[in-house]
Chains A and B, each alone.
Chain A
């Protein structure tokens, strides 16, 4: 089954063509890297794949749902259930503990506070941070912060994990840490798409997609 299916998608901002007629399918269980220079359109691709934005034309299907037929609140529900995001800058709340940061990511799933915290604890255990539950982000290293963010993205057990330059703000050691975490998660059945500049990360993915000038140039698998 295809977790993500993009067909003939274009996205224009005024006169700028960020994406031109892109086709991309990601199947369940894949781990894909999307590489390309700045301005190539890879971030736009991620926004559209993550239903944060809608394409100008073409169809996007996430977990079988045709995004163009969904209302904004249905899209929100789709994101809550099917997609987890990891950002370059972690986006953790400095005033919350690691546990509460992760639990916050489940706020819109309909789970009770207790259930959210239980799942958050399990997710932090999964990323190897069960000994850092009560720590605030400023008490954690960069690699640990990104692992907290990954825990938050997967705590709701979404079928698709989208990561935007997840190692961009980390040194190579922390980057390797996060990359191996992605591998572990992928081995547990989570489909992962990573936007990256980092060749090491790209090489670690079984499937690589190169984007340039709004076009998908090549696929290596």
Chain B
């Protein structure tokens, strides 16, 4: 006589509305429960965002600076003393195929001081170096103020300061006098920063002829910088040591300054595990908060559950209602956390002059994690809800 009884399926929109009904009924509680999740996700997104932003800044810098600069300096000989590079090392390097420019510098072993009253032992970490005229082009450096050396001034007691050196000497503008090796030198220029050659930033640069004339320098360079076409870097690198030090090629050290920057970028991109761990703990606590809220909700709403069972809700539908509620609660917290994290990253980046980068995978991952947490936190309360007997609707 009877047709088969089959419970009607709940539409997705109905289930979603049902899942939010409990949250809408107690918004304050929902917000507090979601807050824990939000803090956890915000922490993690911020950690990832800040490191990605720092990395992006370094990578952009690297892009701008190029990776085609090589640097050669004498290594130690077998007997422990410094090998000398040939006087015209840069000129020889220029003849290598693919090299576009080369310059050389030589440490003079003297110090630069603001005036003659300062004891000679105080170097401020500034080295006085002789330089060839093409150093600036090779480093792609810029003069911030004043001028660079030229064929005339390289013979005179004048000096160009690196950015850090000028800062340490307290000089903002050129045309000052500085005391080098018992005589006055005139500062004619101050350089911008040269991130690929930080040692130049900390140098006071004089011409090679001037170094010979006033500082008794022998003219042997201690460092050669060379820039080549990008695709020629490896081939140049292979012959560089032999070129600058034909007799002892093994004793010349070739390095690629951009590698250090690359390593820095990689390090900046690696998030601090501790902060990420803190975020994970906050997230876990948030998950416990959601579970707790849901357990309480099930206890409080036994009557509602019984009522829904009397309307014809199946156990599965009751279970799903609470599961969806936990998921939505958690996802709500996750969404807020992602926004907060992105905002925090933006503020931090603005304050520190970084480009704002929040990786999409961090946003998606953050939301994904909250869904998993919501499901885990919701399963137990939802199963409890499904076990509430329908008769509680009638008990007074």
Contacts and interface: CB of A to CB of B under 8 A. Distances in A.
B is a partner of A: yes
B96 interface: no
Interface residues of B, number: 36
A105 to B, nearest CB: 5
A77 B303 contact: no
Nearest to A111: B8
Interface of B: 1-2, 5-11, 13-14, 18, 21, 24-25, 303-304, 306-317, 389-391, 393-396
- Could you tell me the dominant secondary structure of chain A's interface residues? mixed
Interface of A: 43, 46-47, 50, 52-53, 63-65, 70, 72-74, 76-81, 83, 85, 87-89, 91, 93, 95, 104-110, 112-113, 164
Contacts, number: 104
B8 A52 contact: no
Given A47-B394, A85-B393, A95-B25, A73 B8 contact: no
Given A80-B311, A81-B312, A91-B307, 4 more contacts: A50-B310, A73-B316, A76-B317, A108-B313
A107 B10 CA distance: 8
A76 B312 contact: yes
28 contacts: A43-B394, A52-B309, A52-B310, A52-B390, A52-B391, A52-B394, A53-B389, A64-B2, A65-B2, A73-B315, A76-B309, A76-B313, A76-B317, A78-B5, A80-B7, A87-B307, A87-B394, A93-B25, A93-B304, A95-B24, A105-B311, A107-B18, A107-B308, A107-B313, A108-B7, A108-B308, A108-B312, A110-B8
A210 B377 CA distance: 48
Nearest to A168: B396
A109 B308 CA distance: 12
A76 B11 contact: no
Given A52-B309, A52-B390, A74 B315 contact: no
B18 to A, nearest CB: 7
B388 to A, nearest CB: 11
B25 A91 contact: no
A53 B10 CA distance: 24
Contacts of B312: 76-81, 108-109
B324 to A, nearest CB: 14
Contacts of B306: 52
A125 to B, nearest CB: 21
A64 B4 CA distance: 12
